[in-house]
Structure 1
Amino acid sequence: MNIALVTYLDQGKYDSDTVESEDDRLLDFLQAKGLNIQKVIWNDPNTNWENYQLAILKSPWDYFDLIEQFHQWLSLLEEKKIKLLNPIDVVRWNTDKHYLNEIQEAGLKITPSIFLERDEKIDFNVFFEEFQTKKLIVKPCVSGGAKNTFKVTPTNAKEIEEKLTELIRAEDFIIQPFLPEILESGEWSFVFFNGVYSHALIKQAKTGDFRVQPAHGGSVHPQNPDQKLIETAARYVRQFAKNCLYARVDGVFVDDDFLLMELELIEPFLFLNTDQQNYERYYKALTELTEDL
């Protein structure tokens, strides 16, 4: 079986050192297990996808910049009957943060969210009042890596309104209250392989920033959560990440309630290097999901 470990064309736009390191280490590990696997750029026009029976999404970091092309690529895999992990229908659903509405409607808790549709008029005073806060986070519904993500306060609201008025002509945005717990306690990530809990960590922003991503100076702290916390995160996976090789449940605890921020099913960093057994658990899940190939 020929396997593609799907990545992206690095043009220096994203700080990808950590991702490439994880990609290479995972690739070496899986090849050492005897798998016929290689890294493939998802939108490389020279790739003959008919040569592959399985594609594993790892780091297609630019998919949200090329979303229409990405959806076309998903359709191509579907047409060629190439198995994708994670499943194509789940990936399509996960590309747009409107999915949070569906999760909330299912009775699971999310960070309070309001969606701004394309060309909608923006008045942050309305949202300050709605969320009873003086700090908001605004980001595109199709995005990643903190792209076009703004922290809004009464001081900079006018400036961000002007920027957003231009950006919203092209895409939808989501507005959420800024949760101080992110700075105080950090953002949790729970990683699951084929629905089974593997490991967890807390990501913390550097002093003076609110973004927890390592590319923006954030730090990572492995955790040993109790079964109750694991079960809380597992509920999101059971309902919305079935048959997924991997799922990363990102959220924050507010008054002891876990509020989902993102259910990462496309290109999350998996923090495999925090424990050598993470690679084994990844491989076990992969073999379980590909027994029919």
Structure 2
Amino acid sequence: MHLALVTCDALAQYQSTGVADEDHQLADYLRARGLDVTFASWSDAAVRWEQFDAAVLKSPWDYFDRPAEFHRWLDELDQRGVRLLNPTSIVRPNADKSYLRAMEQAGVPIVPTVWLPKGSRVDTAALLTALGQPEKLVLKPTVSGGAKDTFALTPDEAAAATAQLQALVDAGDFMAQPFLPQIQTAGEWSLLFFGGQLSHCLRKTPKSGDFRVQHMFGGGIHAETPPAFIQERAADIVQHFAPGCLYARVDGVENGEGGFWLMELELIEPFLYLDSAGPAAYARYANALLELLSRK
């Protein structure tokens, strides 16, 4: 079975010292399980995707810088009959965080959000009012990753940055949310599912003085088990919104009222934290992959 492990040309800029090279460790493990694994950049025009039995998304971390090109690549895979894991029908809507709006409408609690379509007028005072006057206002693009063009601003900072924010919203869709102080104290939960089954969980925390939990910004990774109600909520989300997926990562935060707010359902370019969970996590991933590959 010949697989493409899909990565990107800009991989080096997202890697961090002190963090395991998950891609190569995973590839080595899959090869030990008898699979023929080749790394391939999604944007490499020279790749003959039809030579693979399946293409498995792993680290296409620059897709949000080239969304139109990425969608054309998905179309090309469909036209060539190339199987993608996760499926293209799932990946397409997941590439824009406006999918959270549809999930909220379907009953999934998300972080309170004001949606700013491209060209909207940025009124920071009105946004703060709509979001309950948080201590800081968070703005980020709906097509983004790795905290790109993401801001956490006090009311005064937001007012002073209105022109800059307006220029960004004039260029693309944005979302505004309240700053959640519990992320700096309790952190953010990530729950990893392989083949629809919970594999492992962790709590991510930002470094002191920051709000970004990504490891490339110095965020901490802690292998911990969240409360049962969070596990149940995450499992329900995956069951209803990630059918037929090899992997899904549910990111969210406790809301302080005994509930769980979804922050992201990551189905495209996940860091899976396999090394943090130990050898059994690699086995669970491989078993889910082999199970899906056995289905025609």
Q: 2:293 aligns with which of 272, 290, 293?
A: 290
- Partner deviation per Cα, 1:82-104 (whole Å, 9 max, x = no partner): 11000101100100011011111
Q: Distance in 1 between matches of 2:4 and 2:242?
A: 21
Q: 1:277 aligns with which of 269, 277, 280?
A: 280
Three-state SS of the structure 2 residue aligned to 1:44 is coil
Find the counterpart in structure 1 of residue 205 from structure 2: 204
Find the counterpart in structure 2 of residue 50 from structure 1: 50
**Residues 141-290 of structure 1 mapped to structure 2, 5 A cutoff:** 141-254=142-255, 255-274=257-276, 275-290=278-293
**Identity in percent:** 46
Q: Distance in 1 between matches of 2:17 and 2:33?
A: 25
1:122 touches 1:165 (CA, 8 Å); kept in 2? yes
> Structure 2: which 5+ residue stretches go unaligned?
none
2:242 partner letter:
A
Q: Distance in 1 between matches of 2:160 and 2:142?
A: 21
- Partner deviation per Cα, 1:196-245 (whole Å, 9 max, x = no partner): 00000000000000000010010000012354331111111011011110
Q: Distance in 2 between matches of 1:244 and 1:233?
A: 14
Find the counterpart in structure 1 of residue 131 from structure 2: 131
Shift of residue 134, structure 1, vs aligned partner: 3.0
Three-state SS of the structure 1 residue aligned to 2:4 is strand
Q: Distance in 2 between matches of 1:59 and 1:19?
A: 15
- Partner deviation per Cα, 1:98-157 (whole Å, 9 max, x = no partner): 101111111111111111011111011001111112311110000000000000211211
Higher alpha-carbon deviation: 5-14 or 45-54 = 5-14
Three-state SS of the structure 2 residue aligned to 1:43 is coil
Q: Distance in 2 between matches of 1:12 and 1:225?
A: 32
Three-state SS of the structure 2 residue aligned to 1:273 is helix
CA separation of 1:71 and 1:5: change in aligned 2, threshold 3 A = same
- Over aligned residues, Cα RMSD in angstroms? 1.5
Q: Distance in 1 between matches of 2:19 and 2:52?
A: 23
1:85 touches 1:245 (CA, 8 Å); kept in 2? yes
Shift of residue 18, structure 1, vs aligned partner: 7.0
The TM-score normalised by the length of structure 2 is 0.95
Higher alpha-carbon deviation: 135-144 or 229-238 = 229-238
Q: Distance in 2 between matches of 1:230 and 1:122?
A: 37
2:149 partner letter:
N
Q: Distance in 2 between matches of 1:43 and 1:16?
A: 22
Three-state SS of the structure 2 residue aligned to 1:229 is helix
Three-state SS of the structure 1 residue aligned to 2:230 is helix
Q: What is the number of equivalent residue pairs in this alignment?
A: 293
- Partner deviation per Cα, 1:28-73 (whole Å, 9 max, x = no partner): 0001111011111111111111211200000000000010000000
**Residues 94-133 of structure 1 mapped to structure 2, 5 A cutoff:** 94-132=94-132, 133=134
1:38 partner letter:
T
CA separation of 1:277 and 1:47: change in aligned 2, threshold 3 A = same
Higher alpha-carbon deviation: 153-162 or 21-30 = 153-162
Q: Distance in 2 between matches of 1:146 and 1:14?
A: 11
Q: Distance in 1 between matches of 2:149 and 2:161?
A: 11
CA separation of 1:204 and 1:20: change in aligned 2, threshold 3 A = closer
Q: Distance in 1 between matches of 2:268 and 2:17?
A: 18
- Partner deviation per Cα, 1:261-289 (whole Å, 9 max, x = no partner): 00000011100002210000001110111
Three-state SS of the structure 2 residue aligned to 1:155 is helix
* Structure 1 stretches of at least 4 aligned residues deviating more than 2 Å after TM superposition: 10-20, 224-229
Shift of residue 2, structure 1, vs aligned partner: 1.8
CA separation of 1:16 and 1:65: change in aligned 2, threshold 3 A = farther
1:216 partner letter:
F
The TM-score normalised by the length of structure 1 is 0.96
> Structure 1: which 5+ residue stretches go unaligned?
none
